[in-house]
Amino acid sequence: MITIKSVLAKLFAKWVYIKTQEWVNNPIETQEKVFQELIATATATKFGKDHDFLSINNHNDFIKRVPVRDYEGLKPYVDKVVQGEENVLWKGKPIYFAKTSGTTSGSKYIPITKESMPTHVEAARNAILLYIHETGNAKFVDGKMIFLQGSPILEKKNGVQLGRLSGIVAHYVPQYLQKNRMPSWETNCIEDWETKVNAIVEETLPENMTVISGIPSWVQMYFEKIQEKTGKKVGDVFKNFNLFIFGGVNYEPYRSKFENLIGRPVDSIELFPASEGFFAFQDKQSEKGMLLQLNSGIFYEFIKAEDFYNENPNRYTIKDVQLGINYVMIISTNAGLWAYNLGDTVMFTSIQPYRVIVSGRIKHFISAFGEHVIGKEVEQALQEGLANTKAQVSEFTVAPQINPTSGLPYHEWFIEFEAEIDDLSEISKQIDESLQRQNSYYFDLINGQVLRPLVITKVKKNGFHEYMKSIGKLGGQNKLPRLSNDRKIADALNDLKLTK
């Protein structure tokens, strides 16, 4: 049945598509305009004065005056903003701080300004609308939509509201979606993740769920509880569920497990959001990669990952990037982040238009022997290794074993399988061969007998869930690193007496 709401959604989707094409077809000019507006707006700020923004006319000037920094490098300025000072990184004060977990400095406070906040909301909205425009599928707008997210309860810090980004965004759900949106405000405010998921299950079971959104590992937990409660596939419980929206991690390692839990394939939209900005979203079901948001108050620079730790690596703009190269993404934004190292690495899958995949984290790699294996490679290796099997993986992570009790060193893969598998030899072989095909350094180390092929350590059911809970990271916004260059996670997993 065609409804007024679905007809209006299609018209709105067409308008958004036309507006998007205006900057998609003029990418270089769009980014230059963003750059000039950012510099002009921040010239009178403390950061702008300290870095002589007044004399910055082009990207080369910017490179000379503004070094690449991570949060630690920018922290002296952020601290002033948090203390209540105005005109530090951006004009005036931010309207929010998105609180995230830091590795060396405790909590991180990422400023969100009145200029940057709308870009978070519009990108998420446009991802759905461009899907409607491409597929013609708008039936889901009449059903219920669930967004697994953090609590919307906000604190105040020196007059500025503070919370998780997803909790902040919850305050900006458009009026026309309020009746469709789940869970309820009360359930969304529950802090304990397990209690919250159980409450969401109870609320959603009687509803006509059509869209489900969240980080795959936590949506999987929700789906499993649905199945436990009903004894049915999720797709049989929610017969009109046909769109899964996700971000944060690669969906492919989860796809077969999800299709088994749902009982059928459903369309999916991948997003690339972060507290620092909403960078990209999947704009085509038929294309690999996500459309880079060039008109959202973010100026992008890219540094080749292999050169990142050199003294003065080249900083490229979008006009200089190439396909298939692993880049560290550097951002300058209308929230006052300048030449900021987000920590994510990306690869371009297209430059007409500019589409990216997230290939990993610059700090999440294995190079204990010079192999520099990245997240994209281990995810693809696992996918290829399981391609001709019925095995399904709930979660996994990889670490080097430098000092084995016997034999050559190796990469240790901690994998939680959905069902018990007695013989892992063929799966191990296929994963290892895929990794060798992708990474020539790893291939040379195996063939030179510096390393032996990988070893799989089986993790007990819900073992990763226990690990995340033990470190206080159980929740919809927390992600397990795919790989580490040390044994910190591996040793913690062993300490939990996970089975081999």
Q: What pLDDT score was predicted for residue 344?
A: 87
* Sequence-ordered list of residues with C-beta below 8 angstroms from that of 33, at least 6 positions apart, any chain: none
| pLDDT greater than 80 at residue 430 | yes
Q: What pLDDT score was predicted for residue 368?
A: 80
Q: What pLDDT score was predicted for residue 438?
A: 87
The predicted-structure confidence for 245-277, as pLDDT tens digits, reads as follows 988 777 777 787 888 899 999 999 999 998 899
Residues 281 and 344 in one domain: yes
Amino acid at 455: V
Question: What's the domain count of the chain?
Answer: 2
CA–CA gap between residue 266 and residue 395 (Å, rounded): 21
Q: What pLDDT score was predicted for residue 164?
A: 84
CATH assignment of the domain containing 248: 3.40.50.12780
Q: What pLDDT score was predicted for residue 177?
A: 64
Domain boundary among 363, 388, 408: 363
Residues 66 and 104 in one domain: yes
Q: What pLDDT score was predicted for residue 103?
A: 44
Domain that holds residue 306: 1-363
The torsion angle over the Cα atoms of residues 182, 187, 192 and 198, rounded to 10 degrees, is -70
Q: What pLDDT score was predicted for residue 282?
A: 95
Mean pLDDT, residues 408-432: 89
Closest CA to 482 of 171, 154, 217, 219: 217
**Number of Cβ within a 10 Å radius of residue 425:** 8
Mean pLDDT, residues 366-390: 84
Domain boundary among 363, 389, 419: 363
Q: What pLDDT score was predicted for residue 127?
A: 93
- What's the Cα-to-Cα distance from 163 to each of 153, 189, 296, 297, rounded to whole Å? 7, 12, 22, 22
Residues 439 and 324 in one domain: no
Confidence of residue 104 (pLDDT cuts 50, 70, 90): very low
Mean pLDDT, residues 144-167: 84
Mean pLDDT, residues 361-389: 83
Query: Helices H, strands E: what count in the chain?
Result: 18, 18
Residues 428 and 337 in one domain: no
Residues 315 and 415 in one domain: no
Q: What pLDDT score was predicted for residue 484?
A: 84
Confidence of residue 343 (pLDDT cuts 50, 70, 90): confident
Q: What pLDDT score was predicted for residue 271?
A: 93
Block residue for tokens 């802090």: 191
Q: What is the DSSP string of 406-471?
A: SSS-EEEEEEEESS--S--HHHHHHHHHHHHHH-HHHHHHHHTTSSPPPEEEEPPTTHHHHHHHHT
Residues 226 and 274 in one domain: yes
Tokens of 169: 């965004």
Q: What pLDDT score was predicted for residue 165?
A: 83
The predicted-structure confidence for 190-230, as pLDDT tens digits, reads as follows 878 788 889 999 999 999 999 998 888 778 889 989 999 99
Confidence of residue 500 (pLDDT cuts 50, 70, 90): very low
Please return the burial class of 371, using the count of CB atoms within 10 Å of its CB with bins 0-12, 13-18 and 19+: buried
CB distance 86 to 306 below 8 Å? no
| pLDDT greater than 70 at residue 496 | no
467 occurs within a structural domain: yes
137 occurs within a structural domain: yes
The predicted-structure confidence for 435-486, as pLDDT tens digits, reads as follows 999 888 898 889 878 899 999 999 888 888 888 888 776 665 567 888 888 8
